[in-house]
Amino acid sequence: MLFNSLVFLFLFLPVAYFGFWRLHTKNQRYIWLTVASYIFYGTWNYKFCALMAFSTAVSYFAGVGMLGAAEPRRRKLFLIIPVTVDLALLGFFKYFNFTVSTFAQISSWLHVPVHAPSLDIILPVGISFYTFHTISYMVDAYRGVITPTRNFWEFSCYVSLFSQLVAGPIVRFRQVEGDLENLDQADRRRWLNIGWSFFAIGMMKKVLLADTIAAVINPAWKNVAHLSTLGAWLCVLGYTYQIYFDFSGYSDMAVGLGYLFGIRLPQNFNSPYKALNISDFWHRWHISLSTCLRDYLYIPLGGSRVSATWLVYRNLLITMLLGGLWHGANWTFVFWGAYHGVLLCFYRLFRNSWDRLPDILRATGTFLLVVVGWVFFRSENFSMAAAMLARMFSFSAGDLFPGLAGLLVVLLISACVAHFAPNTFEIRHVWKPWIVAGLCAGYSAALLAIASGQQSPFLYFQF
């Protein structure tokens, strides 16, 4: 079930919403949200509900176990076992075939061909996200940052909350703990305006901008070898804005839905294309992931407080490589992560010189580096990425693609919004009537587009 589908908007959401506000106690609301979220999740593949329930139960009992364990070794055991279980599940479903095929490829390069079994594994939607929820919960509990909850329904509600279940933001327990604890005190009207405002803006970003761009560039990406230089740049720029509006649109909708149910979710995008350097970009792009990587990987590795400078670079590269791998079982994602890791290292090396450049140059330079990175992220393999880069930098003639006029218009709007407009967390969401009318018109246009039945899934669902 997609947020941008009629069944979600006209059946699931109203039932979940009115049912939720008819209930009064915390537990009733936790249970209601949990059940609704499992139904939401089950519409993709009901069999994977059991997997999520298992992961939830393991983490819950680990948290409860930590509460009762005073001995450090026992506490550590309550961390290591469930985290291993969660990572094993993630590893199996997401990376098993990738690992096996990589092993087979390496062995064939070494002229020792090995028959590698390939399992028919379906990747459970959102597993990367809810696994991070449970792991962050256990690590935070172990570190004493949070007190694990004894209420199973509160925890299951946190893990499975439908608004952020399948594509984030990756919410840490401490970020929503307060709202969950006071769920029975939540006031339906308090965040109604802001919730709907976020939801409508997110919907418009996804349906009107991201999907329109996708309609033009997706066919062109299938035919990279025949693109002209201009066509190649338009394709890559198109993807740059598509992924931003797709994912930030989803995040806005998730935040909006959270508000509608009295739960405030954290910001996931802070105008990333306004970044002045690559480090700044990672403080603005997919914030919930980058902070997770920082807190649970980079800092435990030593972060920047290490004895030798090269260790900082090593930590940066490891963090970004694994961040790339988190996105998917493909070497192009790993390369994308490595590319950003190298950029971060370079920035650290030449920070003083870079920071002296005028803002416009820094912003443009950072944006172009990010754009080049998206080539690897979007490409299905390295040949495709190489072909696209070759078209971009070879000044070659070739085909332009149908729909160019529409693409240029949407790119112009997208660029204005991404580079110059305030983001959804910067605006106050107290609108003048004519802006509300405009929002309604845009939202109606999005609904009409959805009504055609051609809605596309969010890009980040695949991760």
In the complex, least distance from residue 215 CB atom to other proteins, rounded to whole angstroms: 5
Residues 447 and 208 sit within 8 Å (Cβ to Cβ): no
- Which amino acid, one-letter code, is at 151? N
Nearest-angstrom CA–CA distance, 264 and 259: 6
In the complex, least distance from residue 189 CB atom to other proteins, rounded to whole angstroms: 5
Q: Is 327 a catalytic residue?
A: yes
Sketch the per residue contact string, 408 through 437, with other proteins: x for CB under 8 A, - otherwise: ---------------x-xxxxxxxxx--xx
- Check residue 21 for interaction with other proteins (CB under 8 A): no
- Check residue 70 for interaction with other proteins (CB under 8 A): no
Backbone Cα Rg of the chain = 23
Residue among 63 and 195 whose Cβ is closer to other proteins: 195
Identify which of 171, 199, 245, 212 has the alpha carbon closest to the alpha carbon of residue 4. 199
Residue among 204 and 387 whose Cβ is closer to other proteins: 204
SS3 content of the chain, % helix, strand, coil (to 5): 75, 0, 25
- Name which position in 406, 419, 420, 462 contacts other proteins (CB under 8 A): 406
Max distance between CA atoms of the chain, in angstroms, equals 71
Residue among 191 and 296 whose Cβ is closer to other proteins: 191
- Report how many residues bind other proteins under the rule CB under 8 A: 50
Identify which of 293, 295, 415 has the alpha carbon closest to the alpha carbon of residue 285. 293
Nearest-angstrom CA–CA distance, 80 and 154: 23
Q: Which stretch binds other proteins (CB under 8 A): 224-232, 321-329, 372-380, 442-450?
A: 442-450
In the complex, least distance from residue 264 CB atom to other proteins, rounded to whole angstroms: 5
Sketch the per residue contact string, 89 through 128, with other proteins: x for CB under 8 A, - otherwise: ----------------------------------------
- Check residue 403 for interaction with other proteins (CB under 8 A): yes
Residues 257 and 163 sit within 8 Å (Cβ to Cβ): yes
Identify the active-site residue in 115, 133, 226, 327. 327
Sketch the per residue contact string, 187 through 226, with other proteins: x for CB under 8 A, - otherwise: --xxxxxxxxx-xx-----------x--xx--x-------
Q: For 24-90, where are the alpha helices, taking DSSP H only?
A: 26-45, 47-68, 72-90
Residues 171 and 266 sit within 8 Å (Cβ to Cβ): yes
In the complex, least distance from residue 170 CB atom to other proteins, rounded to whole angstroms: 15
Question: Cβ neighbours of residue 234 under 8 Å, at least 6 residues apart?
Answer: 217, 220, 404, 407, 408, 411
Tell me which residues in 273-292 interact with other proteins (CB under 8 A).
287
Nearest-angstrom CA–CA distance, 14 and 11: 6
- Name which position in 70, 110, 308, 405 contacts other proteins (CB under 8 A): 405
In the complex, least distance from residue 201 CB atom to other proteins, rounded to whole angstroms: 9
What 8-state DSSP symbol labels residue 299? T
Cα distances (angstroms) measured from residue 94 to each of 2, 123, 125, 363, 379: 21, 6, 10, 35, 19
- Check residue 24 for interaction with other proteins (CB under 8 A): no
Residue among 254 and 334 whose Cβ is closer to other proteins: 254
The residues assigned a catalytic role are 327
Where on the chain is the footprint of other proteins (CB under 8 A)? 9-10, 189-197, 199-200, 212, 215-216, 219, 264, 267, 270, 287, 401-406, 423, 425-433, 436-437, 439-440, 443-444, 447-449, 451-454
